[in-house]
């Protein structure tokens, strides 16, 4: 049952990254690349009918984490308390930036909330990438000092950064040079993803410019992916043991590579949805590759005193997991039906939706 719920959690988090990820990316494009009011309006129209529904996957993932892996939930939410509070505020400002912009027709008011939406989207992409970097790097479980555990084995707390910004320091911070690198990779990845969504859902004048931006950003992304993979070996020696032991797992890096390479043909795609398909493949392949390399760990320990948190030592009782499976299946079917209806209602281009106009 632990493996079943772990797969469910990974699928739900993957859905969140794909769906709300293009919202973040659209917000970054809105902030950095949109030049006219018409282009900014087209971007808001592209995500307007979807962004709040996409966040359901984050809430549902938190619910599954709380239900199936309560020890991990308690450990992560206390240890990552500071960045989680920042993420909460960024989510709030992204939402109210979209909703409050059109309430008062004043240029200063509209520009303020447009910037709030864009900056919050950028910071969310950065922080979620850094969060993944913290999981990959591991944390000091038990708050070990000089070889002695000062807390319970599943407890940790991270400051925002340590003075050295060294991922190998005994006292970690949320922000170090490795997690910053993962955050930058996340920002570029989601910017490309959001740009592809805008191309798919609008006929805006910004689309031709976005294709050139995607091509250039993809070059940077390729370099950063190679650099990150190399530095991962330094931060966490032998990170690919699972992939070496189980050759079929290489399908996930292969999917990521196909998605990454496919973006270089962005100018030649005759169908607007092809770019979005390739960015989805890269995100899903990269996320699945990371999860596969860590399995069965869900939060690695950086010390030798306390063991890593795995799906087996953080899971709830098997009886509860078994009963919850039936209720989850019902809920999951209802959510899928809702999203199918939503995407059918808002299929095609959304240039004339007029989202946020009051």
Which backbone phi and psi does 149 adopt, to 5 degrees? -80, 120
Question: Distance between CA atoms of 214 and 196, rounded to whole angstroms?
Answer: 8
Question: Is the pLDDT assigned to residue 200 strictly greater than 60?
Answer: yes
β-bridge pairing 173-175 and 159-161: parallel
Q: Is residue 100 assigned to a domain?
A: yes
Cβ contacts of residue 1 below 8 Å, gap of 6+? 315, 318, 321, 322, 325
Q: Is residue 310 assigned to a domain?
A: yes
Q: Is residue 350 assigned to a domain?
A: no
What digits encode the pLDDT tens for the residues 63-96? Answer: 999 989 999 999 988 888 888 888 899 999 898 8
Task: Determine contact, residues 43/30, Cβ cutoff 8 Å.
Answer: yes
Task: Output the pLDDT for position 356.
Answer: 61
Task: Determine contact, residues 227/220, Cβ cutoff 8 Å.
Answer: no
What mean pLDDT is predicted for residues 327-348? 86
Task: Output the pLDDT for position 321.
Answer: 83
By 3-state DSSP, what share of the chain in percent is helix, strand and coil, each rounded to 5?
A: 70, 5, 25
Domain range enclosing 66: 2-196+296-345
What digits encode the pLDDT tens for the residues 139-178? Answer: 888 888 877 777 887 888 888 887 788 887 777 888 889 9
Question: Is the pLDDT assigned to residue 358 strictly greater than 90?
Answer: no
What mean pLDDT is predicted for residues 254-277? 91
Q: Is residue 228 assigned to a domain?
A: no
Question: Is the pLDDT assigned to residue 355 strictly greater than 80?
Answer: no
Among residues 70, 15, 72, 87, the alpha carbon closest in space to that of 284 is found at 15
Task: Output the pLDDT for position 295.
Answer: 87
pLDDT: is 106 or 219 the higher one? Answer: 219
Percent of the chain exceeding pLDDT 90 equals: 35
CA distances from 314 to 68, 136, 291, 354 (A): 8, 18, 16, 47
What digits encode the pLDDT tens for the residues 37-68? Answer: 888 888 888 888 888 888 888 888 999 999 89
Least confident of 81-85, 130-134, 143-147, 309-313: 143-147
**Number of compact structural domains in the chain:** 1
Q: Is residue 125 assigned to a domain?
A: yes
Question: Is the pLDDT assigned to residue 357 strictly greater than 70?
Answer: no
CA distances from 335 to 6, 329, 340, 346 (A): 19, 10, 9, 17
Residues 276, 280, 281: CA angle, nearest 5 degrees: 120
What mean pLDDT is predicted for residues 111-123? 92
What mean pLDDT is predicted for residues 242-248? 83
Task: Determine contact, residues 56/15, Cβ cutoff 8 Å.
Answer: no
The two tokens of residue 41 are 């309006």
What mean pLDDT is predicted for residues 285-312? 88
Question: Is the pLDDT assigned to residue 273 strictly greater than 90?
Answer: no
Predicted model pTM: 0.91
Q: Is residue 17 assigned to a domain?
A: yes
Task: Output the pLDDT for position 226.
Answer: 92
Using DSSP's 3-state secondary structure scheme, residue 204 falls into coil
Q: How many CA atoms lie within 13 A of 11 on its CB side?
A: 9
Q: Is residue 106 assigned to a domain?
A: yes
Cβ contacts of residue 227 below 8 Å, gap of 6+? 181
| DSSP secondary structure code for residue 308 in this structure | P
Least confident of 136-150, 219-233, 331-345: 136-150
Question: Distance between CA atoms of 294 and 242, rounded to whole angstroms?
Answer: 8
Percent of the chain exceeding pLDDT 70 equals: 98
Question: Is the pLDDT assigned to residue 195 strictly greater than 90?
Answer: yes
Question: Is the pLDDT assigned to residue 329 strictly greater than 80?
Answer: yes
What digits encode the pLDDT tens for the residues 9-22? Answer: 999 999 999 999 99
Question: Distance between CA atoms of 268 and 206, rounded to whole angstroms?
Answer: 17
Q: Is residue 257 assigned to a domain?
A: no
Task: Output the pLDDT for position 288.
Answer: 93
Task: Output the pLDDT for position 236.
Answer: 80
């Amino acid at each position: 049952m632990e493996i079943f719920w772990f797969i469910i959690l990974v699928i739900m988090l993957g859905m969140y990254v794909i769906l709300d990820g293009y919202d973040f990316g659209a917000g970054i494009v809105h902030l950095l690349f949109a030049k006219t009011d018409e282009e900014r309006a087209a971007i808001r129209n592209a995500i307007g009918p979807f962004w709040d529904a996409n966040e359901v996957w984050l809430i549902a993932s938190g619910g599954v984490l709380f239900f199936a892996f309560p020890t991990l939930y308690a450990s992560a939410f206390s240890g990552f308390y500071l960045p989680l509070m920042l993420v909460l505020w960024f989510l709030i400002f992204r939402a109210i930036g979209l909703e409050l912009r059109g309430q008062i027709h004043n240029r200063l008011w509209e520009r303020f909330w447009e910037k709030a939406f864009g900056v919050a989207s950028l910071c969310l992409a950065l922080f979620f990438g850094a969060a993944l970097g913290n999981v990959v790097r591991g944390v000091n479980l038990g708050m070990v000092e000089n070889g002695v555990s000062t807390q319970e084995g599943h407890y940790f707390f991270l400051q925002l950064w340590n003075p050295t910004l060294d991922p190998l320091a005994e006292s970690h911070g949320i922000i170090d040079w490795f997690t910053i690198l993962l955050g930058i990779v996340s920002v570029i990845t989601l910017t490309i993803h959001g740009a592809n969504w805008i191309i798919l859902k609008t006929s805006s004048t910004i689309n031709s410019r976005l294709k050139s931006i995607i091509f250039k950003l993809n070059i940077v992304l390729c370099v950063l992916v190679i650099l990150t993979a190399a530095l991962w070996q330094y931060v966490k020696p032998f990170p690919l043991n699972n992939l070496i032991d189980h050759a079929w797992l290489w399908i996930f890096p292969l999917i990521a590579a196909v998605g990454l390479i496919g973006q270089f043909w962005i100018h030649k795609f005759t169908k607007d949805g092809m770019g979005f398909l390739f960015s989805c493949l890269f995100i899903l392949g990269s996320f699945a590759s990371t999860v596969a390399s860590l399995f069965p760990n869900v939060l690695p320990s950086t010390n030798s005193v306390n063991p890593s948190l795995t799906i087996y030592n953080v899971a709830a009782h098997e009886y509860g997991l078994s009963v919850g499976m039936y209720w989850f299946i019902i809920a999951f079917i209802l959510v899928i039906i809702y999203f199918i209806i939503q995407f059918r209602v808002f299929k095609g281009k959304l240039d004339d939706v007029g989202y946020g106009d009051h």
